[in-house]
Each structure stands twice: as structure tokens, then as C-alpha cells.
């Protein structure tokens, strides 16, 4: 007997593609995607993943140079390990459809892998990828707050398990089982589940780790940025990704969705305009007419976080106001956290935490009812005549999410610390995570002073001995050293001849000529020193100095400007042998 399908829309009918299913089958809202909707969701997901680049650039620009590679590695780990656990259990904890699902947590759809022939295979994979992009964003927010003093191995374990911190509250707000969703909470693109959870976790992490060494020894003023240009570039990449973040959260372009997708993009930009204006004015006022780069960057980001929850529910002037207030709250909160002793190098607690709270609450004040979409379930904000209910449920949502983010992160870090110490060793912190965790040695960042200070207390540096500075080719350096040694030997002969004068015995002159010939032959026949082109440093010829009457002319005239000079010892590499000879050695940066 042919069964029929009930309760299906046009897009659902397209999804089913005529496959006969049980007559009670209803497509879950998460998978109610037509072909064009799926295309929109996938494209948005790809763009949202580029936000990881923005976070990496911003965070690496805000920390000291000796930790910039470490912070980029943490962003990679967030995707690799966090993404793996999201597939393993995170997605199922947010959107699982098993019989054990309850208002607190979903259960089911773990190790997601719909088989070929499942009529919803495409929709399921598209939904998973979209939610995965949100999950990795929430996780990577925390990395900046833990920068410059967190043990990398401990962070890897934290990143592996941090999925649970995000996925459970995401289900509260967006899952069909979630208690906040069923009460009528509204959050289109994640001011609460993504940013507020990330910001609360960042606050807990920074508070539990404690401040960086010497952070407040000279007051509460911000530390110099490692690379301000990188930080600005990170802002631009995040700005770009945010458009997909918010517009993509219409979850398609079919029906009236495309109109609200366009509205979401424009309101996102309007909010950032307002935030930029306020952060500029605040910075000029606070710094006596000078613009502080971190105030401007975080002000714009704070406004973007604030507009995210209701990105297509606002009018243009409302988006400006929400962005302005978000930026103001952000730039005011940053120094307050410092005075509380919470050292957050990138300001994630303010940008994502404080502004996330404001973004969730703003929906209860300004939201329109986006007819014909059911985003607000027919409700409007307080200022739109909708009464106090939506404002109340939004405030409850902010409170629940903030408490969960802080408490669950404290608990998770406490557990991680039992297995792997969270905090770096103080000596390693002085030398930088790039050198101690990743064996990357920077130049011109004060390593020599740190090494000299640590040497008298017998710190074991054997593991990092011999590490080459970045930007050098060790093979080339070895070849150059061979050339220098040959040059030095020739010069020693020349100096000896100059001292002896023109009366040097003939057999000694012949011995010198033979020795010089052997040295030059060795240079040019060495496989490491084969000349590649005429005029390079290896192909030039070394002339011997012939003994003449005028001693002033007995000079090695081929050492000209631009070539390596004898005894030039720039950028030496410390070896274990050198460590054994002198405990008070220092690297030349």
C-alpha cells in the first residue's frame, strides 16, 4: 500500500524527492531546507570558517611576538580537536533526536553520518557544517583570554572537551527540545549561545590562570601590541565573516528569507558603524586626542556582537543605537576587568561577554515581528508594543547562559589542571611559548636578556639549544661559515707575510703560494660552495697579496662592501657544548 506524507511544505516536498516514508513523518525544522536554502547555508558556512583567520590574526597581533605562533596554533587546535568532538558528541548534545532528549540536553545523532539513500542526507550535512562553524567560533574566543601563560598541552585537552560548554546551552536556545527555545527566547545568530558563552568562558579562564608575569607591576595600562597591523587585519577578516554569520542565520533564501538575509547584512553594518563612531570618540576623549587601536578594534567587534542576536529584527536607527551602546559597554568594561585583576590580553571578556549580554537583552527591547517568519513566535520587543514577556525571557536567557559559561568552564579547567598544569612554568613564560612549546626562535625580542637572567639559577636549556632563528637557512649558514674559515686562514698567511717583509725566503713564498692554491681549490670544489652564478658570494675569487715594496699595498682588496667580512659572527646558534662551557651565555638577538 502506498503511504502518504503529511505536514510538508514545498521545500520539504523537494527534500523528500518522492521517497515513500511513514505517514507520520515530519521533517525537523533544522532540516527544512530546499536546494537553494542548502546552497545558502553551505556558502555561509564556508565564509564563517574564515573567521578563524580573523581571530588568529587579531589575537597574534595583540600578544607579544614571542607568543604569536603559539596563539595561532591554538586556533588550529580549536578547529581540529573541537571540530572532532563536535562531530563525536557535540552536535548530538545540541540537536539530537533520540528518545532520551530532555529540555536540558539532547541525546542522539552522535557520530553523525547519514547513509547514501537517506532523503535528508544533504540537509543533514549542510546543517551540521553550519552549526560546526558556530561551535568552533565559540571555542576559539577563549584562546585569546588564555594567551601568553597557558600550557599548550593543557589547552589542547581543554579544547577537546570545551565542546560541551558550548553545545548544551546552544541546544537550550536553538534545539527543539531546549527549555529557553520553548519559552520563546530569540537569538538569530548567537549573541548568547556563541558570544556570551565564549566571553563567559574567557572570563573564567583568565581569572583562573591569573595575570601574566609583571602585567600590573607598572599599573593597569594596556601592554604594547605585538603587531598592530595584524590586529587590524584580523578585524577586517572578522567583519567580513560576520556578514555571513548573521545573513546566513536566516537559514536559507526561499520564501521571504532572502529579504531578511539582506536586512541582516545591512543592519550588521549599521551596528558596526555606530560602534566605530562611539569607540573613536571614547578613545579620543580618554587619551587626550590620540586614537588607541585596541579601543577602536574592540569597539567595532563589541557592536557586531551586540547586533547579532536580532540582526534582522531592527530598524536602521535602532541598529545604530544598539551598536553604539555595545561599543561603549565594551571599552568601559575592559579597564574594569583589569582593575579586578582579570588579565584578558585581547579583551574577549568584554567584547563577547559583556556585549553578548547586551545583545541578548536588546532583542527584548527593539525586536520587530518579522512577518511571515516565525523567528519571534509572533512577539515584539517592549519598545514595539510587545509588552514585557520577550524582555523577561531574554534577560533570563542572558542570566542562564552567563552562569553556565562561567561555572562549567571553571569546572572543566579544574579537571584539566588535575592532569596537566594549566599555567606555564614562569621561566618558560619569560622565554615565550613559541620557543619553549614550538621550538621557534625569534630575533630582536629580548631573548638574550631572558637567557642571561635565567642562566645563574641553572635553568635547563638543553632542549632549546641549537634552535635556528626563523628566516635563516641552516645549510646556507654552514656554507658561509666554511667560506669564512677559508678567508680567515688566507688572511693569517697574508698578515704573516706582511710582518716578514720582502726579505722572506723564497721557499716560504712558494709554500704560501701552494697553500693559497689548495685553499682556493677546496673552496671552489666543495659541494656546499659550488658557484651558481657569476658574482655571488661563493663565486668571487680571493686574490693573494703579492709581496711588494710598499707595505701599504699589502692589503686584501677584494673584501668590499656587501660581502661577508672575516670574523663576522652575527646570529650565532647556541649549542649544548657552549652551554657546558659558560653558564652565563647569552644569545645575540
358 in the same domain as 479 = no
Confidence of residue 266 (pLDDT cuts 50, 70, 90): very high
Report helix, strand or coil for 287.
Answer: coil
**pLDDT at residue 23, as a whole number:** 33
Helical ranges in 146-227 per DSSP H: 152-161, 163-174, 179-183, 197-209
Among 389, 419, 449, identify where a domain stops: 419
209 in the same domain as 284 = yes
Among 419, 439, 455, identify where a domain stops: 419
Q: Contact, 199 vs 454, CB < 8 A?
A: no
Reading the block at residue 418, the C-alpha cell is 588535575
4 in the same domain as 85 = no
Question: Could you tell me if residue 588 is inside a domain?
Answer: no
40 in the same domain as 22 = no
Confidence of residue 390 (pLDDT cuts 50, 70, 90): very high
pLDDT greater than 50 at residue 385: yes
Among 373, 388, 419, identify where a domain stops: 419
pLDDT greater than 60 at residue 150: yes
Question: Could you tell me if residue 194 is inside a domain?
Answer: yes
Question: Could you tell me if residue 393 is inside a domain?
Answer: yes
How many domains does the structure of the chain reveal?
3
**pLDDT at residue 561, as a whole number:** 39
Confidence of residue 569 (pLDDT cuts 50, 70, 90): very low
**pLDDT at residue 542, as a whole number:** 42
Reading the block at residue 156, the C-alpha cell is 589542547
Distance, CA of 484 to CA of 538 (rounded, Å): 11
For residues 95-122, average pLDDT: 91
**pLDDT at residue 218, as a whole number:** 85
253 in the same domain as 173 = yes
262 in the same domain as 297 = yes
28 in the same domain as 76 = no
273 in the same domain as 196 = yes
DSSP character at residue 528: G
Question: Up-side HSE of residue 145: CA atoms within 13 Å toward CB?
Answer: 31
Report helix, strand or coil for 499.
Answer: helix
The verdict on whether omega for the bond into residue 372 sits within 30 degrees of 0, i.e. cis, is yes
**pLDDT at residue 299, as a whole number:** 96
Distance, CA of 567 to CA of 259 (rounded, Å): 71
50 in the same domain as 19 = no
**pLDDT at residue 447, as a whole number:** 56
Reading the block at residue 430, the C-alpha cell is 619569560
Question: Could you tell me if residue 506 is inside a domain?
Answer: yes
Phi-psi region of 483 (alpha: psi -120 to 50; beta: other; left: phi over 0): alpha
Question: Could you tell me if residue 275 is inside a domain?
Answer: yes
**pLDDT at residue 392, as a whole number:** 96
52 in the same domain as 143 = yes
261 in the same domain as 169 = yes
346 in the same domain as 208 = yes
The verdict on whether omega for the bond into residue 191 sits within 30 degrees of 0, i.e. cis, is no
**pLDDT at residue 210, as a whole number:** 93
Question: Between these two residues, 533 and 415, which has the higher pLDDT value?
Answer: 415
Lowest mean pLDDT among 16-25, 211-220, 244-253, 576-585: 16-25
**pLDDT at residue 435, as a whole number:** 84
- Chain centroid, CA 556 distance in Å: 53
**pLDDT at residue 471, as a whole number:** 62
Distance, CA of 513 to CA of 524 (rounded, Å): 17
pLDDT greater than 70 at residue 427: yes
pLDDT greater than 90 at residue 575: no
Distance, CA of 426 to CA of 418 (rounded, Å): 19
pLDDT greater than 80 at residue 425: yes
Please write the tens of the pLDDT for every residue from 43-59. Answer: 999 999 999 999 999 99
In the predicted model, what is the mean pLDDT of the chain? 82
Confidence of residue 588 (pLDDT cuts 50, 70, 90): very low
For residues 483-499, average pLDDT: 76
Confidence of residue 107 (pLDDT cuts 50, 70, 90): very high
**pLDDT at residue 219, as a whole number:** 87
For residues 285-298, average pLDDT: 92
Please write the tens of the pLDDT for every residue from 505-543. Answer: 766 667 777 776 676 666 666 555 444 444 444 444 444
Q: Contact, 91 vs 132, CB < 8 A?
A: yes
- Chain centroid, CA 158 distance in Å: 16
Confidence of residue 496 (pLDDT cuts 50, 70, 90): confident
Reading the block at residue 14, the C-alpha cell is 523537494
Question: Could you tell me if residue 196 is inside a domain?
Answer: yes
Domain that holds residue 165: 35-214+229-419
**pLDDT at residue 343, as a whole number:** 93
Residue corresponding to grid cell 567587534 = 301
Report the candidate in 239, 255, 370 with the shortest Cα–Cα distance to residue 307: 239
**pLDDT at residue 36, as a whole number:** 93
Residue 137, domain CATH: 1.10.3430.10
Share of the chain above pLDDT 70, in %: 75
Lowest mean pLDDT among 300-314, 356-370, 485-499: 485-499
Question: Could you tell me if residue 200 is inside a domain?
Answer: yes
Question: Could you tell me if residue 2 is inside a domain?
Answer: yes
pLDDT greater than 50 at residue 410: yes
Is 89 exposed, middle or buried (CB count within 10 Å of its CB: 0-12, 13-18, 19+)?
A: middle
Share of the chain above pLDDT 90, in %: 60
Amino acid at each position: 500500500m502506498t503511504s502518504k506524507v503529511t505536514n510538508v511544505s514545498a521545500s520539504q516536498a523537494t527534500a523528500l524527492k518522492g521517497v515513500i516514508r511513514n505517514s507520520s513523518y515530519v521533517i525537523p525544522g533544522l532540516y527544512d531546507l530546499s536546494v537553494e536554502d542548502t546552497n545558502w547555508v553551505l556558502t555561509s558556512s564556508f565564509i564563517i570558517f574564515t573567521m578563524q583567520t580573523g581571530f588568529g590574526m587579531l589575537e597574534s597581533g595583540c600578544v607579544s611576538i614571542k607568543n604569536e605562533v603559539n596563539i595561532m596554533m591554538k586556533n588550529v587546535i580549536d578547529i581540529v580537536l573541537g571540530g572532532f568532538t563536535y562531530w563525536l558528541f557535540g552536535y548530538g548534545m545540541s540537536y539530537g533526536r533520540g528518545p532520551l532528549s530532555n529540555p536540558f540536553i539532547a541525546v542522539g545523532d552522535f557520530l553523525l553520518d547519514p547513509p547514501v539513500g537517506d532523503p535528508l542526507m544533504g540537509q543533514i550535512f549542510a546543517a551540521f557544517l553550519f552549526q560546526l562553524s558556530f561551535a568552533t567560533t565559540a571555542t576559539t574566543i577563549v584562546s585569546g583570554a588564555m594567551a601568553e601563560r597557558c600550557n599548550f598541552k593543557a589547552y589542547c585537552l581543554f579544547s577537546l572537551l570545551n565542546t560541551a560548554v558550548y553545545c548544551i546551552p546552544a541546544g537550550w536556545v536553538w534545539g527543539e527540545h531546549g527549555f529557553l527555545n520553548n519559552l520563546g527566547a530569540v537569538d538569530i545568530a548567537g549573541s548568547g549561545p556563541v558570544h556570551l558563552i565564549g566571553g563567559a568562558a574567557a572570563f573564567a579562564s583568565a581569572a583562573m590562570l591569573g595575570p601574566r608575569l609583571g602585567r600590573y607591576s607598572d599599573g593597569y595600562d594596556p601592554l604594547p601590541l605585538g603587531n598592530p597591523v595584524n590586529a587590524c587585519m584580523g578585524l577586517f577578516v572578522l567583519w567580513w565573516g560576520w556578514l555571513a554569520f548573521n545573513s546566513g542565520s536566516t537559514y536559507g533564501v526561499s520564501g521571504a528569507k532572502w529579504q531578511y538575509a539582506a536586512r541582516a547584512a545591512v543592519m550588521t553594518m549599521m551596528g558596526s558603524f555606530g560602534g566605530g563612531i562611539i569607540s573613536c570618540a571614547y578613545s579620543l576623549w580618554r587619551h587626550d586626542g590620540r586614537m588607541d587601536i585596541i579601543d577602536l578594534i574592540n569597539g567595532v567587534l563589541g557592536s557586531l556582537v551586540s547586533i547579532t542576536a536580532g540582526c534582522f529584527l531592527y530598524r536602521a536607527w535602532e541598529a545604530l543605537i544598539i551598536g553604539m551602546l555595545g561599543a561603549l559597554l565594551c571599552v568601559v568594561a575592559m579597564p574594569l576587568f583589569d582593575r579586578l585583576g582579570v588579565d584578558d590580553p585581547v579583551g574577549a571578556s568584554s567584547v563577547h561577554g559583556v556585549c553578548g549580554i547586551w545583545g541578548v537583552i536588546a532583542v527584548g527591547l527593539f525586536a520587530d515581528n518579522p512577518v511571515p517568519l516565525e523567528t519571534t513566535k509572533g512577539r515584539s520587543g517592549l519598545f514595539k508594543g510587545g509588552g514585557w514577556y520577550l524582555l523577561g525571557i531574554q534577560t533570563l536567557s542572558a542570566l542562564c547562559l552567563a552562569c553556565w559559561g562561567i561555572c562549567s568552564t571553571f569546572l572543566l579547567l579544574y579537571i584539566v589542571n588535575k592532569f596537566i598544569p594549566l599555567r606555564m612554568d614562569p621561566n618558560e613564560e619569560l622565554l615565550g611559548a613559541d620557543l619553549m612549546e614550538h621550538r621557534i626562535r625569534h630575533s630582536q625580542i629580548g631573548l638574550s636578556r631572558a637567557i642571561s637572567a635565567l642562566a645563574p639559577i641553572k635553568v635547563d636549556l638543553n632542549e632549546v639549544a641549537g634552535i635556528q632563528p626563523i628566516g635563516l637557512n641552516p645549510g646556507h649558514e654552514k656554507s658561509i661559515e666554511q667560506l669564512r674559515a677559508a678567508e680567515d686562514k688566507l688572511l693569517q698567511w697574508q698578515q704573516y707575510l706582511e710582518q716578514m717583509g720582502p726579505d722572506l725566503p723564497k721557499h716560504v713564498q712558494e709554500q704560501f703560494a701552494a697553500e693559497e692554491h689548495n685553499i682556493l681549490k677546496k673552496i671552489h670544489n666543495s659541494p656546499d660552495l659550488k658557484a651558481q652564478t657569476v658574482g655571488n658570494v661563493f663565486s668571487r675569487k680571493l686574490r693573494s697579496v703579492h709581496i711588494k715594496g710598499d707595505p701599504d699595498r699589502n692589503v686584501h682588496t677584494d673584501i668590499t662592501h656587501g660581502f661577508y667580512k672575516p670574523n663576522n659572527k652575527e646570529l650565532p646558534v647556541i649549542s649544548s657544548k657552549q652551554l657546558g662551557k659558560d653558564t652565563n651565555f647569552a644569545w645575540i638577538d
